[in-house]
């Protein structure tokens, strides 16, 4: 049988062209996927954008606080004058689709909690674990956990002492919350549900106090 060399060569070239075409198509698809991923990364950054942070002027609520917590006249300082843990809510709420910060200064006694929660879950004596993100001064974090799931209560390495300034940043655009110890610039960041409406709050043990520092 006579082999048609020209036909084989033509078929080989045709197969090669098909392979090149497939490779080119795959490369174009990969480039398009890479472009989409880059755009998504730009549109949905994983870190809080510092240039976009707005100062949120907050005050302690006269209505949403425990009777043991006493406020000064300007509602910028709260103190637990009796015993056991008590809570105070701050106003206003954190705006949706925003990046805000607010700052506290702790007093001379330990036993302070700083966090955010939905108003419906706030209680003067305790905080519902659902839709709440809080951190206390010995590094114990409770992050929107189920009451039956103890694994969501985390012991972090982030701790603070007395007379400490703590800056809190909340990004409801990408769902991030960050506590910063101003003295050392140490920080602790967690994911939050950006679809909820949150209020800042504090928890105070006996004789503990905490002051709101307005940003300029």
**Do residues 145 and 186 share a domain?**
yes
**Do residues 1 and 106 share a domain?**
no
Instruction: Output phi, psi for 156, to 5 deg.
Output: -90, 170
Instruction: Output phi, psi for 50, to 5 deg.
Output: -65, -30
On the question of pLDDT at 188 being above 70, the answer is yes
Report DSSP state, residue 127.
Answer: B
On the question of pLDDT at 7 being above 70, the answer is no
Range of the structural domain that residue 34 is part of: 1-43
**Do residues 129 and 201 share a domain?**
yes
pLDDT for the residue 208: 95
**Do residues 83 and 39 share a domain?**
no
**Residue in 149, 191, 186, 142 with CA at minimum distance from that of residue 165:** 186
The CATH number assigned to the domain holding 181 equals 2.60.120.920
Q: How many CB atoms lie within 10 A of CB 35?
A: 10
**Do residues 12 and 89 share a domain?**
no
Enumerate helices (H) and strands (E) in the chain, giving the number of each.
1, 15
**Residue in 170, 83, 89 with CA at minimum distance from that of residue 122:** 89
**Do residues 11 and 86 share a domain?**
no
Q: Give 134-149 as a DSSP string.
A: EEETTSEEEES--TT-
Strand partners, 89: 201
* Domain total of the chain: 2
Residues with Cβ within 8 Å of 162's Cβ and at least 6 positions away in sequence, in order, are 106, 107, 108, 109, 110
- pLDDT tens for each residue of 95-130: 999 999 999 999 999 999 999 999 888 888 877 767
**Do residues 68 and 35 share a domain?**
no
pLDDT for the residue 34: 45
**Do residues 128 and 32 share a domain?**
no
On the question of pLDDT at 158 being above 50, the answer is yes
**Do residues 154 and 170 share a domain?**
yes
**Do residues 115 and 134 share a domain?**
yes
On the question of pLDDT at 27 being above 50, the answer is yes
pTM (2 decimals)? 0.74
pLDDT for the residue 35: 43
**How many angstroms separate the CA atoms of 30 and 26, rounded?**
6
């Amino acid at each position: 049988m006579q082999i048609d060399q020209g036909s084989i060569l033509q078929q080989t070239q045709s197969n090669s062209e098909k392979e090149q075409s497939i490779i080119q198509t795959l490369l174009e698809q990969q480039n398009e996927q890479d472009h989409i991923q880059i755009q998504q990364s730009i549109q949905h950054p994983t870190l809080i954008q510092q240039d976009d942070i707005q100062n949120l002027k907050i005050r302690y609520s006269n209505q949403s606080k425990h009777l043991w917590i006493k406020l000064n006249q300007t509602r910028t300082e709260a103190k637990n004058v009796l015993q056991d843990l008590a809570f105070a809510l701050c106003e206003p709420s954190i705006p949706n689709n925003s990046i805000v910060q607010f700052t506290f200064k702790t007093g001379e006694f330990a036993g302070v909690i700083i966090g955010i929660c939905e108003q419906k879950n706030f209680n003067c004596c305790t905080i519902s674990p659902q839709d709440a993100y809080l951190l206390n001064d010995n590094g114990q974090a409770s992050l929107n956990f189920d009451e039956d799931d103890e694994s969501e209560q985390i012991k972090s390495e982030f701790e603070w002492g007395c007379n400490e300034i703590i800056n809190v940043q909340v990004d409801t655009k990408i769902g991030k919350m960050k506590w910063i110890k101003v003295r050392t610039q140490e920080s602790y960041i967690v994911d939050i549900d950006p679809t909820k409406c949150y209020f800042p709050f504090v928890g105070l043990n006996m004789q503990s106090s905490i002051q709101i520092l307005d940003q300029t």
